[in-house]
């Protein structure tokens, strides 16, 4: 799943759960929940393969996705610090995957195998691209609604 839905759902959770430890935990777990849903992802192959001379488009894509998500949070939330903290917490699983690509180690590899292999089990099932995009749009819309109201 692209970063924007993860950021927005993490922020929406923080806006609705008053007990901060619960909000942090739910924001973290929301990442895995969203990755269970059929979705599209853009490639970060050049980063994963440490082809730094070719990585600029991947880095730019990630930066724009992250910036768009943060802009939506800024526009639609009450801008409390916990909202941004939970948005960042919701990205930890993907961050661990990227760290594992650059600095592999045993613990991160175990996480990566669970995250990429077990959680993304629908990745290789046949769902139309339209459904994969629609699922992310629905998460964005619901999250904005929760942030705003």
pLDDT of res. 92:
97
> How many angstroms separate the CA atoms of 31 and 14, rounded?
14
pLDDT of res. 41:
87
pLDDT of res. 47:
78
Residue 126 phi, psi dihedral angles, 5° rounding: -85, 105
**Domain total of the chain:** 1
Question: In which residue are the tokens 């699922």 written?
Answer: 135
pTM above 0.85, yes or no: yes
pLDDT of res. 65:
97
H-helix or E-strand containing 112? Answer: helix 106-112
Per-residue tens of pLDDT for the chain, all 149 residues: 899 999 999 999 999 999 999 999 999 999 999 999 999 888 888 877 878 899 999 889 999 999 999 999 999 999 999 999 999 999 999 999 889 888 889 999 999 999 988 888 777 778 898 999 999 999 999 999 999 99
pLDDT of res. 56:
92
First to last CA, the chain: 25
pLDDT of res. 25:
98
What's the domain range around 72? 3-148
């Amino acid at each position: 799943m692209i970063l924007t839905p993860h950021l927005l759902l993490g922020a929406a959770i923080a806006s609705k759960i008053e007990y901060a430890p619960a909000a942090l935990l739910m924001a973290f777990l929301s990442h895995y929940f969203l990755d269970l849903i059929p979705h599209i992802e853009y490639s970060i192959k050049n980063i994963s393969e440490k082809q730094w001379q070719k990585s600029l488009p991947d880095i730019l894509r990630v930066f724009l996705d992250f910036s768009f998500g943060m802009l939506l949070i800024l526009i639609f939330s009450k801008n409390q610090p916990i909202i941004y903290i939970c948005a960042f917490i919701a990205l930890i699983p993907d961050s661990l995957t990227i760290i594992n690509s650059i600095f592999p180690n045993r613990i991160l590899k175990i996480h990566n195998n669970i995250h990429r292999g077990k959680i993304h089990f629908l990745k290789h099932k046949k769902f139309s691209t339209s459904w994969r995009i629609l699922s992310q749009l629905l998460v964005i819309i619901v999250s904005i609604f929760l942030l705003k109201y």
